[in-house]
Amino acid sequence: MRALLYIPIVLSLVVLGAHFMRDGLMIGVAVALLLIGLLFVRRAWAARAVQMALVIGAFEWVLTLYVLADSRLRQGESATRMIVILASVAVITLASAFLFQARPLRKFYHLDSGGSHDA
């Protein structure tokens, strides 16, 4: 069951990394890969770092949506399909952050213990 919860989290990070690669931001790609690696660290801080990165990633998708939609609309092009796609990616990325609230991940990362396993 826990493995299934990782699928949207990892896919969200991979797509975010691809987004940064498309813009030539290799540091963003490296951070996305590092965050995937953090999923193997059984500490609350690691889960919270990935969770925060996914929330920030969702905001990045919303910002990208705004910039690209504005550009297309100014050029008189249709932006509907792009808006639907990027909005969906933003929602999935944000929803992925909330998967850390699922019982299997809360237990795995010791998120219910008040951080006593953080050290």
Q: Is residue 116 part of a domain?
A: no
Number of C-beta neighbours around residue 65 at 10 A: 19
Domain count, the chain: 1
pLDDT digits (tens, 9 = 90+) for 37-53: 999 999 999 999 999 99
Position 2 scores a pLDDT of 87
| Domain contains 64 | yes
CB 102 within 8 A of CB 5: yes
* Domain presence at residue 81: yes
Q: pTM to 2 decimals?
A: 0.89
**Domain enclosing residue 89, as ranges:** 2-108
Q: Does 96 map to a domain?
A: yes
